[in-house]
A and B are shown apart, each in its own frame.
Chain A
Amino acid sequence: MKLKIAHLYPDLLEVYSDRGNVTVLKRRAEWRGFDVEVKAISIGDTADLSEYDILFSGGGEDREQSIVADDLLRRRSAFEKAIAEGTVILTICGSYQLLGRYFETIGGKRIEGLGLVDFFTVGGTKRLVGNTIGNLQIEGLAGNTIVGYENHSGRTYLGEGVKPLAVMTNGFGNNGEDRFEGVAQGTVFGTYMHGPLLSKNPHFADFLLRLALYRHTEDPVLIPLDDTWEMRAHQQIIEKYSQTVRV
């Protein structure tokens, strides 16, 4: 069996080294003996998204984000089909914003999103920057912490009943107001924790891998790995930054 990962717009959405997450998913699957194929998909490429077990995309600067938005909208039904077939989707920052209904910039410009999850984003003047710590809210991982780094000016507000990925204890999260961070709906995830998020949160990486494997088997098993360094990196953030509470 081969695990197929698609990296969407790696040439455009890669501003904070988000591609590290693909490396982490790939390696952690390979260390368990799975065959992994990673495919890059960008503007204009034809691709059946539901062929893939995991779709990943990162964040970009405003210029890149609006280029991507047009191409994404063209793929809306492909996304719907993939979600219906259990494909796991992880989006970060700029592409997270495009999962929602729309992104309205501070200048009043409106970028239409895919509308796959009910939330919207508006631009803010002050950038929300720094190390973040939160408690995961997703089933099976509740009680676990998640750590990362955020740097965004957009403020995201989740619709009624839409669940966040985590509730923040440190950092700003979606909007700096409701302490929510990211979104989790079925197999679709979005987060402002950019960069190599999964490298410091191996439990979340494995959660995504297991979820993806449901497409192939009813009871996916992942052999435990030695995550000593990963968890020390995770703990270092908690030890260093949990003191400085910001709202």
Chain B
Amino acid sequence: MNRLRFFLAINVSKFVKQILRLTGRKGTTLPGAIALRICPDILSHFGSKLNGNVVLITGTNGKTTTSNLLTHFLRKDGRAIISNSLGANLIQGIVTTFLDGYKGKAADGQAVVLEVDEATIGKVIQPLHPNAVVVTNFFRDQMDRYGEVDTVVELVGNALKKAPDHTMLILNADDPLVSSIAPEGKRVIWYGINSSDFSAEDHNEVKDGKFCRTCSSPLHYTQYHYGQLGFYRCLTCGFQRANPDYAAERVRLHEEGILFELKGDVGRINSPALYNVYNALAAITAANLMGVKREVLREEMSSMATGLGRMERMNIAGKHVMLTLVKNPTGFNQVLSVVQQETRPAHLVVVLNDHYADGTDVSWIWDTNIEKLRKMSRLQRIWATGTRAFDMGVRLKYAGFGDITEVMEGDIRTVDHALAELPEGHLLYILSTYTSLYAIRDHLLAKGRIEVEAKNRASVPGSA
């Protein structure tokens, strides 16, 4: 390690950062890119200085929410945190995050929580020698970038094999794609859902991992939670769900949120989506391993709030709005399950964009089960908007909603229009792909008549 290069990299990139800030830019990538040029092994320097107080979180869905919840638990335990809360989860963004949080010797005792892109985890797992690596799940997402789900699973699998010996791997036991990459000889802690009101014995949702990755035989399920998550077993080679070390029991809906039990403690999340139970479990498991005090964790897990724009409930001048990110069929179907449970008349705005950060291929909307809302008589009105508004409109038309659907250009305009038309006592769901999510949220905030119903205590702005 070259200390001179290290300090040069830090100072030059801090200077660049200040210039970027002066010109009004966030500067989440460029300073890191420059620092990497000057000192290619800069992450090893940070890794050694932070003495292993590092948790990395990767997987398709839930990276941001899991990392926000974990950050929150650690803060409540009195730790100083370095976290890429702006969601810059590629290597340049991660280096920038360290540059921002780096305080020289004072960095001792700081904890680092990073969400890491699936293609980046292999580059950072050795230099950062983390305490723990969380893998949430694998679903088809951003296929324009990776081509196949298998490719992503392999990328992360190869990264885990390179994990330092002391690193704990915190893996989702219910996802066969995740458990298939548990490397031999490494320390693995499993989390999963043991019993839940949401589960079924069978369903016809898309399952990305329906074949055993060891022997290619179909996996046999006794219970599905959602997607390919559940109790699975390969009857040919014996590959099966591991018994979770951290298992949620009695997962159930409760007053617009979800309740579950974990080792005798009660977890409560302010969002009714099942996938947040996994995010909570992953965060609690990691917090436990990082030594967060039991009483702090018990207190905080009883009132967890998911991040901004993740099933966020708002009250805007007496009108009820739910804003959420949608970016792949599994996430979309989970939102539909929530809409279906709604007892008030519901209205939908679906914002479909195809910018790079959304994924340029919007085919996935045809893999959603939107047809199942046909049984829902309380669904009143749907607006389709975004850069691919007409693709969404066509999807809704062929699902049988042609008569209640309107296609409108301009996402903000559409949201305003839908809000204006929303009758008293009705609920407006806004489902948006990534690139419009925060713009819509900021727009609602700027109107100055918003109050967030559930306090977003654990949330910081994040990305997909």
- Chain A contacts to B: CB under 8 angstroms: 11, 14-17, 19-20, 23-24, 27, 61-64, 67, 127, 129-131, 149, 151, 153, 194-196, 199-200, 229-230, 232-233, 236, 240
In the bound complex, how far is the Cα of B210 from the Cα of A67, in angstroms? 13
Contacts known (A20-B363, A200-B391, A233-B388); A63 close to B147, Cβ less than 8 A = no
Nearest-CB residue, chain B, relative to A23:
B398
Query: Hey, what's the 0/1 contact readout for B288-332 against A, CB within 8 Å counting as 1?
Result: 000000000000000000000000000000000000000001000
**Can you list 26 A-B contacts with CB-CB less than 8 angstroms, sorted by A residue number?**
A15-B140, A16-B361, A16-B363, A17-B366, A17-B367, A19-B366, A19-B367, A20-B366, A20-B367, A20-B398, A63-B211, A127-B147, A129-B144, A149-B362, A149-B363, A151-B147, A194-B363, A195-B363, A195-B364, A196-B365, A199-B394, A199-B398, A232-B393, A236-B387, A236-B388, A240-B387
Q: Answer yes or no: B100 CB below 8 A from chain A CBs.
A: no
Q: Which of A61, A67, A130 lies in contact with B144, CB distance below 8 A?
A: A130
Nearest CB on B from A141, distance (A): 20
Q: Are B361 and A229 in contact (CB under 8 A)?
A: no
Q: Are B364 and A17 in contact (CB under 8 A)?
A: yes
Chain B residues in 8 Å Cβ range of A230: 390, 394
Nearest-CB residue, chain B, relative to A234:
B390
Q: Answer yes or no: B236 CB below 8 A from chain A CBs.
A: no
Q: Answer yes or no: B249 CB below 8 A from chain A CBs.
A: no
Nearest-CB residue, chain A, relative to B147:
A127
Q: Which of B149, B363, B390 lies in contact with A232, CB distance below 8 A?
A: B390
Query: Hey, what's the 0/1 contact readout for B334-346 against A, CB within 8 Å counting as 1?
Result: 0000000000000
**Size of B's binding interface in residues, CB under 8 A:** 31
Contacts known (A24-B398, A62-B150); A196 close to B366, Cβ less than 8 A = yes
Top 9 A-B pairs, shortest CB-CB distance: A195-B363, A20-B366, A233-B390, A17-B366, A17-B367, A232-B390, A196-B366, A17-B363, A229-B393
Nearest-CB residue, chain A, relative to B146:
A127
Q: Answer yes or no: B34 CB below 8 A from chain A CBs.
A: no
Contacts known (A63-B211, A64-B211, A129-B147); A233 close to B367, Cβ less than 8 A = no
Q: Answer yes or no: B143 CB below 8 A from chain A CBs.
A: yes
Q: Are B391 and A233 in contact (CB under 8 A)?
A: yes
Q: Are B393 and A14 in contact (CB under 8 A)?
A: no
Q: Which of B210, B360, B364 lies in contact with A11, CB distance below 8 A?
A: B210
In the bound complex, how far is the Cα of B218 from the Cα of A67, in angstroms? 11
In the bound complex, how far is the Cα of B148 from the Cα of A129, in angstroms? 12
Q: Are A200 and B394 in contact (CB under 8 A)?
A: yes
Q: Answer yes or no: B216 CB below 8 A from chain A CBs.
A: yes
Residue among A16, A17, A19, A67 with most chain B CB within 10 A: A17
Chain A residues in 8 Å Cβ range of B390: 229-230, 232-233, 236
Q: Answer yes or no: B26 CB below 8 A from chain A CBs.
A: no
Residue among A20, A62, A130, A153 with most chain B CB within 10 A: A20
Q: Are B366 and A149 in contact (CB under 8 A)?
A: no
Chain B residues in 8 Å Cβ range of A127: 147
Q: Are A61 and B150 in contact (CB under 8 A)?
A: yes
Q: Answer yes or no: B155 CB below 8 A from chain A CBs.
A: no
